[in-house]
Amino acid sequence: MRIMDSFRKRKVDILVATDLAARGLDVASIRTVVSYDVARDVQTHTHRVGRTGRAGEAGEAFTLLTSDLKNRKMAAGLVEHLEVIGSTAGEDLMDLAMKHVPFRASRLAVTQKRGGPGSAPNSVNGSAAAEEQPRKRARSASPPSPPSPPPTP
């Protein structure tokens, strides 16, 4: 409480905290939040970044993500969350989300239903190349075309 009081009174400029600070921390002067470790879910992430921009003030939040499984999954969840609230994900976040196999598969399914670019199964120009797709998905793709007959002399 002593440290929080110092932070609230702006006697200190930086506070390093755990997720305990993500909820119930009401300090209007917080302008920037940096999450060095990804939250366990989108709701917790929302509480972390919600520490900025309080009482009508502007703020920025940064979350450092790597390409490990936990971070790819969070990137996919953040993209979906941004889309639900009517916002768009940046290119880097979308690229990381597309590395999460279930997210990529859902995007490919939507693209194929719409007949959009890269909608042919296993399209290299689509969101995933054949060797990157899960085996089950690759086997469920439409059968290959029969080989062309040899040219006649």
Lowest mean pLDDT among 13-27, 105-119, 123-137: 123-137
User: Are 52 and 33 spatial neighbours (Cβ–Cβ below 8 Å)?
Assistant: yes
Kindly state the average pLDDT of the residues 80-86. 93
In eight-state DSSP terms, residue 144 is P
The residue ranking higher by pLDDT, 114 or 103, is: 103
User: Rounded to whole angstroms, how far apart are CA atoms 119 and 82?
Assistant: 24
Q: What is d(CA 20, CA 31) in angstroms, rounded to the nearest whole number?
A: 18
Lowest mean pLDDT, pick from 19-28, 84-93, 130-139: 130-139
- 80 pLDDT more than 90: yes
Share of the chain above pLDDT 90, in %: 28
pLDDT interval class at 116 (50, 70, 90)? low
Is pLDDT above 60 for 152? no
Helix (H) / strand (E) containing 82 = helix 69-84
Rounded Cα distance, 70 and 68, in Å:
6
Rounded distance between C-alpha atoms, residue 94 and residue 104, angstroms:
10
If you write DSSP's letter for every residue of 15-50 in order, what string do you get? ----GGGGSS---TT--EEEESS--SSHHHHHHHHT
**Which residues are CB-neighbours of 145 under 8 A, at least 6 positions away?**
none
- What integer pLDDT is reported at residue 103 of this predicted model? 96
Please report, rounded to a whole number, the percentage of residues in the chain having pLDDT higher than 70. Answer: 71
Domains of the chain as residue ranges with CATH: 1-64 (3.40.50.300), 66-120 (no CATH)
17/42: higher pLDDT: 42
For residue 43, pLDDT over 80 is answered with: yes
When comparing pLDDT for 151 and 140, which is higher?
151
In this predicted structure, the answer to whether residue 146 has a pLDDT above a threshold of 70 is no
